[in-house]
Structure 1
Amino acid sequence: MKPTVIIVACLSILLSSHTLSATLKMAFDADPISLDPHEQLSEGTLQFSHLAFDPLLRWQQNGTFEPRLATHWQAITPSTTRFFLRQGVTFHSGNPLTSADVVYTINRLKHSTDFRAMFDTIQSAKVIDDYTLDVSSAKPNPLILNIMTYVFPMDKDFYQGQDEIVKYGETFASRHVSGTGPFILEKRELGSRMEFRRNPNYWDTSSPGNVDKLIFTPIRNDATRLAALLSGDVDFIFPVSPIDIQRTQKTAGIQLVTMPSTRILLLHMNQTRRQEFKDTRVRKAINLAINQALIVDKILRGYATPAGQLSPNRFLGHIADLQPEYDLTKARQLMKEAGYEQGFRVSMMAPNNRYTNDEKVAQAVTAMLAKINIKADLKTLPKAQYFKEFDDRSADIMMLGWQSDTMDSNNLFEFIIACTDAKTGLGAYNASEYCNPSITDDIHQANQELNPERRLRLLQGIEKTLYQESAIVPLYWQFLTWAAKDKVKIQDIVNDRNYPYIGDLIIEQ
């Protein structure tokens, strides 16, 4: 054989080996509650959306935006941005993607209980032609591109007329899916298994991903999930419990990927349910009685950062001086001043499979509250049951974790802290039922403030007020930890928002 022929043959083998199909068996701690991408604003929903749908644009690991279904965009006016769509994209149904589908999706998001607060700043979306649309805000919007990462276009012809959004309900959209994403859902057994196959008509032909089949198995128990990886039953898991990290690192053939995230874990104290929580001294005492550093050290083994505020240090609202305080003597004194030296009894709820070691953290909190004579009757539930109870505000103290959707402090404030407003969606996750109208006014102002210095003052002002009023109990910013077989190149597709881009995953053959 001639040398040139040998070279060509070798290249052909290399190229074909890259395109060989592979099966990924993945185990996370829970599966998405619904197939409707707008039913619940949750990590599980967004992970699913990146499998079955595609966003207009998405975050890259370096913190910049990557064009996806939108190839590019430009500001037409200070309050209007024009988006240009990729042509030749089809939904799983076979229907072509057009700007009408994107406008339909944005309008639907504005009616979603969970998403409407984020999209309330969007005044309108207008079709210009089949592949061009304008998105307008009532006033200049500093976060328009951040918000558009949550637009996963839905198939208008497929869903329209049967697209009601019912949280935890049985609807057409909660049971059927037609997206443009890299994977097509073939089988779903809620709580036990989901199976996907590669979309043969996927538009992103330049993607390096070679996963042809995806089998997703939710495994709630940390030890069982890790055992499934170590035995070879699955290839990729999340999360890895902090107590198992050292063992995982020492296991041959297994890789561990860990990175800090901006997800804040916190406790809500319901001021409507409990008269005691209306007293700032009581709320401050609870904050002082909870030792965030000890929780991070003993329960999370250092794989988190203790928090004294909502905003992590990469967000504009962060104030370096607002550190978590632990002072049991002062906490007891405040309880005495408030007239509650003898304490009182409260109900408390937390998930037991949503955040890393969430049940153990909740148990530690109850022990700490007991030291200031607050007896917390703790009930923990699986994620699927817990968040319905959370929406119903079923306990006096409730745990919540929140990843800012826009990678900005104001998203934390508008969902967790703002006065609850069903019409706008503000305060949708404010289980404290805390309401400070001046904070809500500042949230509105920050959503349209383009001057960085003025916006900084607004966001830090909110953070300072929350600290002074002890509105909630910040616990810590969670680390993310994944593990996989060495041949599964997860380091290239995971990110600090925990939406792995499985469509681009390479599994070595």
Structure 2
Amino acid sequence: MLQRCFVFILLFYALNSIAQSQAVLTPPVVTIAIEKTPTSFNPFVSKELFSQQFKHLFFDPLFRWGTQNKLEMRLVEHWERIDNKTVRFHLRPDIHFHSGNLLTSKDVIWSFQEAKKQTNSVFFSKIESIKQRNKYSFDIRSTLTNFQLFDYLTYVFILDSDFYKNNMALLNPAASILLPPIEKLPISGTGPYQIYKFNPILGIEVIANEHYWGQVPEMKHLRFMRIKNAQSRLFALLADDVQVSYSVPNKNVHDLSRNSGKHLIKVPSSNAIFLTINDKLSPVLHNREVRKAIRLAIDQQSMLKNILNNSGRVNNSFMTLAESKVPEQMGKMCLAPPEYDLNKAKKMLKNVKLPKQMSMLVMLDNLGNSEQVANALSYMLNQIGIKLVIQKTGSKDLWNKTNLYYDFTVTALHTRLMSRENVYSALFSNSFLTNYLKNKFSEENIVSDFQKKSEYFESLQRDDWVIPLLFQDQVWVENGDINLQDIFSTNSIPYWSLLKMETKAAKQN
């Protein structure tokens, strides 16, 4: 009974809030169905609390990845390399925060200091110093290449130091309900939108910053509606309750692609599902031929078709988005499709004595694909005599404590970084593969040499210890009236300020 009352209250509040916003906001108001709303408005917290798409609504970075595979200068107007360690940056003049305060290099220095306090990013350990030179310029000293440094700077959003020094509580991860009229500014960045209304349960509404230093958004009002379940987001889209939906179920991709009234957008990302093999419990897995047989028994193309509905890709080895999309960063990774040969795999294991059963730990992902991949692996490996007992978890702590005690693990890696070196740094220090890789590096007495770690990680893939199974696209759907396909960055972030109304005739042309 109590639960019913709670649901009724929520429904009443939602309907009242929507009615109120429709009465105040002038059309067009685009409603976007999302999985999560922010639980903090601090741009330095993790993506689980404040995702990149929202950070770009309210704040600007020094650089960002554009929509055409290029790095764009944002708050930076120009830069120059002074010596092999120092890069000098010059800010655009006359940019103002939402508070009205002027952006200066003082804000950049303060933002770096705050970010370093609040994050454990590898990036800050690689910065030797950041110093203000004058009102609009500053120097960064590091051993990073230009590409590495600028790639990292796409993650650094600049805050209004004068505003936040007097409102430090606003940087705490404790979002609260905000209803219009908002009498006290809850956030002060340089971004293209400002908060109009926020409810951590229902969603967030934003209005365009009419004093934005860049191009003022054409879409003046956006409503992000929190709908946690992917199937429910799809129903809301089909009922025209929302105009855009994030992450529709893969099983519906084929039907939606044939729906002339809806427009399916597949956005390539670096979201990869990995299989790792551990020989500590089952020494037979130390045999390279056994691991090769396991690789041959895995039909990755079939998983791509039946689990992802072809919304993704398969590669023989891990490839960053930059290597696949940015011409000057193309690597020498093998682009040939992974080999699948079940009969060959069976022959290779014909005289091998396998354990009666082996274990697999699966880290569940938000899309539900890692669980389906694990079930497919169980079926495929059973065909070559490997019977799996599967344990699933959604707990990061449990994963970190136990993943080395399983024969196999399945997990996903997702990063917005583009530089190969930056992605590897994150992979080696702060990912679900970190414990496994640290153990492997220790076996080879590789302690701190990054180049050796990188080379060894690539050899682990060649020797079938680490197998990248699938690279998953982000799947969005819109109702055909907007240019959704044009707003995604090279690293798959939607820049909502680029959203425009678009006729179906224009799309066909």
Give the TM-score taking structure 2 as reference length: 0.76
Question: Paired residue for 1:253?
Answer: 261
> Conserved in 1, the CA contact under 8 Å of 2:203 and 2:224?
yes
In the TM superposition, what is the alpha-carbon distance from 1:238 to its structure 2 partner?
1.8
CA distance in 2 between counterparts of 1:404 and 1:300 reads 21
Q: Establish whether residue 59 from structure 1 lines up as the match of residue 73 from structure 2.
A: no
> Conserved in 1, the CA contact under 8 Å of 2:303 and 2:373?
yes
Return the letter of the residue paired with 1:172: N
Question: Paired residue for 1:413?
Answer: 424
Cα deviation digits, residues 63-102 of structure 1 (max 9, x gap):
1122211122222222211111123333334433221221
CA distance in 1 between counterparts of 2:209 and 2:48 reads 24
Question: Paired residue for 2:126?
Answer: 121
> Conserved in 1, the CA contact under 8 Å of 2:41 and 2:171?
no
Query: Please, which runs of 5 or more residues in structure 1 have no aligned partner?
Result: 1-19, 165-169, 421-425, 447-457
State the secondary structure of the residue aligned to 2:207. strand
Cα deviation digits, residues 419-442 of structure 1 (max 9, x gap):
x4xxxxx66851424442679679
> Conserved in 2, the CA contact under 8 Å of 1:33 and 1:45?
no
Cα deviation digits, residues 309-366 of structure 1 (max 9, x gap):
1115525444226753445567678889997432233443312x247x4443343234
Q: Establish whether residue 235 from structure 1 lines up as the match of residue 240 from structure 2.
A: no
CA distance in 2 between counterparts of 1:217 and 1:247 reads 24
1:104-253 equivalences under 5 Å are 104-114=110-120, 116-138=121-143, 140-160=145-165, 172-173=172-173, 175=175, 177-190=187-200, 192-204=202-214, 206-207=215-216, 209-253=217-261
> Conserved in 1, the CA contact under 8 Å of 2:363 and 2:411?
yes
Query: Please, which runs of 5 or more residues in structure 2 have no aligned partner?
Result: 1-25, 176-185, 504-509
State the secondary structure of the residue aligned to 2:97. coil
State the secondary structure of the residue aligned to 2:205. strand
Return the letter of the residue paired with 2:152: I
* Stretch moving more, 325-334 or 135-144: 325-334
CA distance in 1 between counterparts of 2:143 and 2:284 reads 35
How many correspondences in the alignment?
Answer: 454
Question: Paired residue for 2:495?
Answer: 501
State the secondary structure of the residue aligned to 2:131. strand
- Of all paired residues, the percent bearing the same amino acid is 28
CA distance in 2 between counterparts of 1:193 and 1:146 reads 30
1:424-503 equivalences under 5 Å are 430-432=434-436, 433-436=438-441, 444-445=450-451, 461-462=455-456, 464-503=458-497
> Conserved in 1, the CA contact under 8 Å of 2:278 and 2:465?
no
Question: Paired residue for 1:449?
Answer: none
1:341 to 355, 365, 376: 355
Q: Establish whether residue 80 from structure 1 lines up as the match of residue 86 from structure 2.
A: yes
> Conserved in 2, the CA contact under 8 Å of 1:26 and 1:236?
yes
1:23-38 equivalences under 5 Å are 23-32=29-38, 34-38=40-44
Return the letter of the residue paired with 1:413: Y
Question: Paired residue for 1:99?
Answer: 105
CA distance in 2 between counterparts of 1:473 and 1:237 reads 31
Return the letter of the residue paired with 1:128: R
Q: Establish whether residue 307 from structure 1 lines up as the match of residue 309 from structure 2.
A: no
CA distance in 2 between counterparts of 1:498 and 1:462 reads 28
In the TM superposition, what is the alpha-carbon distance from 1:54 to its structure 2 partner?
1.0
CA distance in 2 between counterparts of 1:43 and 1:247 reads 33
CA distance in 2 between counterparts of 1:316 and 1:185 reads 40
Structure 1 residues 278, 56: CA separation in 2 closer, same or farther (over 3 Å shift)?
A: farther
State the secondary structure of the residue aligned to 2:51. helix
Structure 1 residues 31, 317: CA separation in 2 closer, same or farther (over 3 Å shift)?
A: farther
Give the TM-score taking structure 1 as reference length: 0.76
CA distance in 1 between counterparts of 2:197 and 2:353 reads 58
Structure 1 residues 194, 142: CA separation in 2 closer, same or farther (over 3 Å shift)?
A: closer
CA distance in 2 between counterparts of 1:366 and 1:43 reads 34
2:300 to 292, 315, 318: 292
> Conserved in 2, the CA contact under 8 Å of 1:350 and 1:362?
no
RMSD: 3.8
Question: Paired residue for 1:400?
Answer: 412
CA distance in 2 between counterparts of 1:52 and 1:278 reads 54
In the TM superposition, what is the alpha-carbon distance from 1:296 to its structure 2 partner?
0.4
Q: Establish whether residue 364 from structure 1 lines up as the match of residue 370 from structure 2.
A: no
Structure 1 residues 21, 139: CA separation in 2 closer, same or farther (over 3 Å shift)?
A: same
> Conserved in 2, the CA contact under 8 Å of 1:98 and 1:131?
yes
* Stretch moving more, 300-309 or 39-48: 39-48
Structure 1 residues 337, 491: CA separation in 2 closer, same or farther (over 3 Å shift)?
A: same
Structure 1 residues 481, 349: CA separation in 2 closer, same or farther (over 3 Å shift)?
A: closer
CA distance in 1 between counterparts of 2:269 and 2:351 reads 38
